[in-house]
C-alpha cells in the first residue's frame, strides 16, 4: 500500500501547502495581465510581475512541488499552467474520491455550497449518489476533504456561472478560452510520477485510475483499520454487503492488498503476543498457544523485549506459518490457497449453497456464514468481532420466540443458535 499512501500524502500536501500559494500567484498573474495587457508576455512585463510578487514567489519556491515547476518551457519540468489547471484539481479529486469513497462521476459532480457543519460539531459534505440511488446524501467527512473542497471553490470561481455551479471546471487562466470540464485521467499519471510515487517490488509503476480510489478506501478501512464491513457497506451505499466484500478483495488492487494484508496479519499476531487480545475459534486457540510458546522462547533469548524486537518476531512467525488473515464481519480466515487447506475449509465442502473462491484461490467470505465458519479449522474470532456474534445470537433468540415458525425452520434455527452459542462460550470469560 506504499504507492497509495504516497499518492494520498502528496495530494494532501499540495492541497494544504502548495495549492493556496499557487492560486495566489495565479490571481496575481491575472491582475498583471489586466494591468499590462500589451506587454505582460515581454521580458520587462515579467520583470514587473516578479518585482511586485517577490515575496509570494519566494513562498511558492519553498514548497515541495516547486522544484519540479518551471515558468518557462524546460525539459523535465512541469509548467505552472499544468500545476494550476491539472495538478491542483487532481490532488483535490484524489482526496475526495478516496476519503469519501465515491465514484468518479459522483466526486467530480460536487457543487458550490456542499460543505456543512463545523470543526466543533463535525464536518459533512453533500454529494450526489448515482447507480444505487438517485439524489444526494450528506456524508460525514474529515477536515482534509473540506480543505480540498474550499480550494476547489477558489480554483474554479472564474469559470463558474449562475447556471453551472460545479467545482471541477477548468478556468483556463492563461488564455481566453472558455471554461472546460476537468478530466482527471489526463493528469493522474503525470501527477503520480511528478510527486515520486515509488515503483512496485517488480520495478513496474502502478497505473492509478479514478475508479480505484473508492476501492482503495475500502482496502484501507478493512485491512488497515479493521473496520466493520457493514459500516463500509453503508458508507458506500451498497445494497448488498457481498459487493463490499468484493471491493475489499479487489483483484485489480491485489498487489497492494497483499502487502496490507500481511501488515494486518502481523498487527493481529502482535496484539496477541502483547496480551492485548485473545482469540476464539479453532485457528484462534491454536494460534494463541503457538504465539505464547514463541514468546516464551524469545524471552529466554532476550532479557528485555522491545517494540522493534517484538514486531520482528511477529513478522518472522507470520512468514514461518505462511499466515495471511482475511477479514469478514464475523471473523478472520487463515485458509491458504493450497488444495490441502481448501479441502479442510468448511465453506468449500459440499453444502446447500456451495462454496466460493476468491481470485487468489482462497475462500471468499461471500460463500460462507457465521455458523459455517464457527466449526472450521481456519476460523479465528478476535475481540473486535465478539459483539457481532452476540448480536447474531440475539437475532436467533428473537426469531425462535415466535409462535408462527414451522417445525423444520425451528430445527434449522435451533441448530444455528447452538453453533453460535458454542463458539461464544469459548470466548475469554470477560467477553462472554
Question: Quick check: 310 and 270 in contact, CB under 8 A?
Answer: yes
| DSSP line for 231-248 | HHHHHHT-S-HHHHHHHH
Q: Which residues contact 133 (CB under 8 A, 6 or more apart)?
A: 237
Which ranges constitute the DSSP H helices of 302-406?
A: 307-321, 339-343, 370-374, 386-400
Question: CA 125 to CA 137: how far, in whole Å?
Answer: 8
Q: How much is the pLDDT for 360?
A: 67
pLDDT above 80 for 59: yes
| Domain chopping of the chain, boundaries | 2-115+144-194, 227-432
pLDDT above 80 for 327: no
Question: Quick check: 103 and 214 in contact, CB under 8 A?
Answer: yes
| H helix or E strand, kind and range, residue 327 | strand 326-328
Q: What is the mean pLDDT of residues 233-249?
A: 68
Cell numbers at 297, concatenated: 522462547
Q: Mean pLDDT score of the chain, rounded to an integer?
A: 82
Instruction: Give the residue from 230, 209, 237 showing the smallest Cα distance to 102.
Output: 237
Q: Quick one: CA dihedral 361, 259, 261, 367, positive or negative?
A: negative
pLDDT winner (highest mean) among 1-15, 270-284, 295-309, 397-411: 397-411
Q: What is the pLDDT of residues 69-95, one digit of tens each?
A: 766 655 667 788 889 999 999 999 999
How are strands ordered across the β-sheet holding 135-140? Answer: 115-118, 122-129, 135-140
Q: Which residues contact 58 (CB under 8 A, 6 or more apart)?
A: none
Question: CA 130 to CA 163: how far, in whole Å?
Answer: 21
Question: CA 312 to CA 318: how far, in whole Å?
Answer: 10
Q: Residue 103 burial (CB < 10 Å; 0-12/13-18/19+)?
A: buried
pLDDT above 70 for 177: no
**DSSP tag of 275:** T
Amino acid at each position: 500500500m506504499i504507492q497509495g499512501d504516497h499518492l494520498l500524502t502528496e495530494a494532501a500536501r499540495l492541497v494544504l501547502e502548495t495549492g493556496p500559494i499557487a492560486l495566489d500567484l495565479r490571481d496575481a498573474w491575472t491582475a498583471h495581465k489586466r494591468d499590462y495587457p500589451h506587454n505582460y508576455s515581454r521580458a520587462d512585463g515579467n520583470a514587473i510581475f516578479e518585482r511586485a510578487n517577490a515575496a509570494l514567489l519566494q513562498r511558492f519556491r519553498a514548497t515541495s512541488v516547486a522544484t519540479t515547476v518551471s515558468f518557462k518551457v524546460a525539459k523535465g519540468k512541469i509548467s505552472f499552467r499544468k500545476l494550476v489547471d491539472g495538478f491542483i484539481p487532481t490532488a483535490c479529486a484524489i482526496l475526495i474520491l478516496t476519503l469519501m469513497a465515491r465514484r468518479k462521476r459522483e466526486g467530480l459532480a460536487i457543487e458550490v455550497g456542499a460543505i456543512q457543519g463545523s470543526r466543533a460539531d463535525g464536518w459533512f459534505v453533500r454529494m450526489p449518489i448515482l447507480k444505487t440511488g438517485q439524489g444526494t446524501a450528506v456524508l460525514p467527512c474529515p477536515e482534509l476533504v473540506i480543505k480540498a473542497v474550499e480550494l476547489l471553490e477558489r480554483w474554479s470561481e472564474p469559470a463558474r456561472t449562475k447556471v453551472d455551479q460545479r467545482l471541477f471546471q477548468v478556468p483556463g487562466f492563461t488564455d481566453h478560452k472558455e471554461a472546460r470540464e476537468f478530466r482527471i485521467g489526463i493528469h493522474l499519471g503525470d501527477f503520480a510520477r511528478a510527486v515520486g510515487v515509488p515503483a512496485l517490488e517488480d520495478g513496474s509503476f502502478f497505473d492509478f485510475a479514478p475508479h480505484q480510489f473508492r476501492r482503495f478506501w475500502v482496502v484501507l478501512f478493512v485491512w488497515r483499520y479493521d473496520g466493520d464491513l457493514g459500516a463500509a457497506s453503508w458508507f458506500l451505499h451498497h445494497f448488498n454487503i457481498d459487493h463490499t466484500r468484493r471491493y475489499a478483495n479487489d483483484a485489480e488492487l491485489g498487489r497492494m492488498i497483499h502487502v496490507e494484508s500481511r501488515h494486518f496479519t502481523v498487527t493481529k499476531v502482535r496484539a496477541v503476543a502483547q496480551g492485548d487480545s485473545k482469540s476464539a475459534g479453532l485457528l484462534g486457540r491454536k494460534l494463541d498457544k503457538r504465539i505464547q510458546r514463541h514468546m516464551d522462547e524469545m524471552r529466554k533469548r532476550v532479557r528485555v523485549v522491545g517494540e522493534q524486537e517484538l514486531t520482528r518476531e511477529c513478522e518472522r512467525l507470520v512468514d514461518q506459518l505462511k499466515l495471511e488473515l482475511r477479514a469478514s464481519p464475523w471473523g478472520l480466515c487463515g485458509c491458504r490457497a493450497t488444495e490441502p487447506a481448501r479441502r479442510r475449509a468448511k465453506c468449500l465442502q459440499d453444502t446447500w449453497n456451495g462454496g466460493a473462491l476468491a481470485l487468489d484461490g482462497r475462500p471468499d467470505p461471500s460463500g460462507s456464514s457465521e455458523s459455517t465458519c464457527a466449526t472450521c479449522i481456519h476460523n479465528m474470532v478476535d475481540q473486535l468481532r465478539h459483539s457481532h456474534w452476540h448480536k447474531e445470537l440475539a437475532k436467533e433468540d428473537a426469531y425462535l420466540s415466535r409462535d408462527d415458525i414451522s417445525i423444520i425452520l425451528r430445527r434449522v434455527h435451533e441448530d444455528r443458535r447452538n453453533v453460535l452459542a458454542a463458539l461464544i462460550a469459548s470466548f475469554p470469560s470477560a467477553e462472554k
